[in-house]
């Protein structure tokens, strides 16, 4: 890997919260990356949202806080255009010294699921819709950003407003340029329902690339916003009375000939599509912790607040948790609408895609698709709060089928420590923890 044109680069891996953990290294160290010369404690991928060690971590007890070996992912080095000084970021993932994957690495969890699809000769295509807020965090209370044209804070909601998009044209122009040089295929941008809220769609690609894109995109948006005198956040609910941030996941599956297995030429889609939908619905309750991993996540998951809490599916109905969008049959796909913007993309795609595959393996059939407003229906629900979500996740049979036991255990220890510490922070100040950490 030739990074000789730079002075330094960053070697980073994703922890269980999706935060980047790693090292700044001199450029000449790049030649040794493939040899496993970058090492970090296994426990680094299992720290809490503040970066603190897990007090009762069995991982530390079992390994003596030993080092794992970081190896570069297929992504290779990417530029870091949010920094003033030229640098590169090299995505890595954790392995044991014998080269086998470390089960506590969330990227390996997704790779394990995708390997099950590959064993059938299938390739998953996925895309994400990324919602975020631009904010002013200079004071004790989170505020909307200032309009760069008037220098006044935003005052009104502006869903699908070109005027509000144009006001922040310098930021969005720089963002698209940065996405291009980082090979993140950003598509359409809209002004969303919240005050200073936006959504950018990232074009579909193979599922691991889609997860990488989402992970890198979140870091890029937050870093670039700072260069433009603002902050950006993917918090699930930055403002209690305003819309939450979601991360909708679209996916389809191609067979060895490139045909979409969800397409049978009809508007309804194939039997395999129904089985996949059934798997997603069956797994939703036990997977709540992945879709809503933080205390703030449950401010978004409130019935009737335009975030799906009822477990159901529908055709072309945005109130449903699982939606089959309209369109040409050859583009038939599933949209999973539950996740908040604060998710770890690797874990979210791992459980969604594993759920769909489980439904296919079991030939499961979903209930009838709903019609009308899902918020008005009496439906099975996601876990109602953080504590319930952790407890359910820890013992749910589907989660045991989907994720390695070490990862399940480590995540539960992490989340219980965060829950204890967050209880000492008044709700009005919790945004300071989550603003850019998620």
**Pairing relation of β-strands 88-95 and 8-14?**
parallel
The pLDDT of residue 148:
84
Q: Are 67 and 38 within 8 A, CB to CB? A: no
pLDDT 10s digits, 165-189: 888 899 999 999 999 999 999 999 8
Q: Are 287 and 356 within 8 A, CB to CB? A: no
Whole-prediction pTM: 0.96
pLDDT 10s digits, 152-165: 877 766 665 667 78
Residue 62: pLDDT band by 50, 70, 90 thresholds?
Answer: low
Query: What's the CA gap between 122 and 27, in Å, rounded?
Result: 38
pLDDT 10s digits, 89-126: 999 999 999 999 999 999 999 999 999 999 999 999 99
**How many residues in total does the chain contain?**
438
Three-state SS at 213? helix
Instruction: Residue 201: count other Cβ atoms within 10 Å of its Cβ.
Output: 17
Residue 396: pLDDT band by 50, 70, 90 thresholds?
Answer: very high
In CATH, which of 3.30.590.10, 3.30.70.2740, 3.30.1330.10, 3.40.50.720 is domain 113-434? Answer: 3.30.590.10
Which residue blocks in 154-306 are alpha helix, DSSP H? 162-167, 169-181, 207-227, 271-284, 288-291, 297-300
In the chain, the N- to C-terminal Cα span, in Å, equals 30
Q: Looking at the domain covering 8-102, what would its CATH class be?
A: alpha beta
428's torsion region: left (phi>0), alpha (psi -120 to 50) or beta?
alpha
Show me where the domains of the chain are located: 8-102, 113-434
| C-alpha pair distances (Å), 341 with each of 56, 121, 244, 246, 437 | 29, 31, 8, 5, 12
Residue 191: pLDDT band by 50, 70, 90 thresholds?
Answer: confident
Q: DSSP string spanning 292-346?
A: S-STTHHHH--TTSSS--B--EEES-TTSSEEE--S-GGG--EEE---BTTS-HH
Residue 46 in tokens: 């299992």
């Amino acid at each position: 890997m030739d990074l000789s044109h730079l002075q330094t680069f960053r070697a980073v891996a994703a922890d269980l919260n999706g935060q980047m953990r790693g090292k700044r290294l001199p450029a000449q160290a790049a030649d040794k990356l493939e040899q496993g010369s970058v090492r970090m404690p296994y426990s680094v991928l299992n720290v809490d949202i503040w970066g603190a060690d897990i007090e009762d971590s069995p991982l530390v007890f079992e390994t003596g806080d030993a080092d794992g070996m970081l190896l570069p992912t297929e992504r290779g080095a990417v530029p870091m255009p949010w920094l003033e000084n030229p640098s590169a970021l090299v995505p890595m993932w954790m392995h044991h010294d014998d080269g086998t994957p470390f089960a506590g690495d969330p990227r390996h969890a997704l790779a394990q699921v995708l390997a099950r699809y590959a064993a059938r000769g299938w390739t998953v295509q996925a895309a994400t819709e990324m919602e975020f807020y631009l904010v002013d965090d200079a004071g004790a209370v989170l505020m909307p950003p200032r309009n760069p044209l008037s220098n006044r804070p935003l005052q009104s909601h502006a869903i699908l407003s070109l005027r509000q998009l144009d006001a922040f044209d310098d930021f969005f122009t720089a963002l698209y340029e940065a996405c291009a040089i980082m090979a993140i295929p950003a598509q359409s941008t809209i002004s969303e329902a919240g005050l200073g809220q936006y959504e950018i769609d990232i074009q579909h690609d193979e599922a691991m690339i889609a997860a990488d894109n989402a992970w890198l995109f979140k870091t890029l948006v937050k870093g670039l916003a700072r260069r433009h005198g603002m902050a950006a956040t993917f918090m699930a609910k930055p403002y209690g009375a305003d819309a939450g941030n979601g991360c909708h996941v679209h996916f389809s599956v191609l067979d060895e000939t490139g045909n979409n297995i969800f397409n049978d030429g009809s508007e309804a889609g194939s039997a395999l599509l129904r089985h996949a939908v059934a798997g997603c619905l069956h797994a939703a309750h036990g997977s709540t912790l992945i879709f809503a991993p933080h205390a703030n996540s449950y401010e978004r998951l409130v019935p009737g607040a335009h975030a799906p809490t009822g477990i159901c599916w529908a055709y072309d109905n945005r109130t449903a948790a699982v939606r089959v969008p309209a369109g040409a049959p050859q583009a038939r796909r599933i949209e999973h609408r539950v996740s908040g913007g604060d998710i770890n993309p690797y874990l979210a795609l791992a459980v969604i895609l594993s759920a769909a595959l489980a439904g296919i393996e079991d030939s499961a059939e979903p209930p009838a698709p709903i019609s009308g407003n899902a918020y008005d229906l009496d439906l099975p629900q996601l876990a109602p709060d953080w504590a319930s979500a952790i407890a359910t996740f820890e013992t749910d049979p589907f989660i045991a089928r989907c994720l390695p036991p070490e990862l399940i255990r480590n995540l539960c220890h992490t989340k219980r420590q965060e829950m204890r510490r967050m209880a000492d922070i008044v709700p009005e100040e919790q945004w300071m923890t989550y603003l850019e950490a998620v």
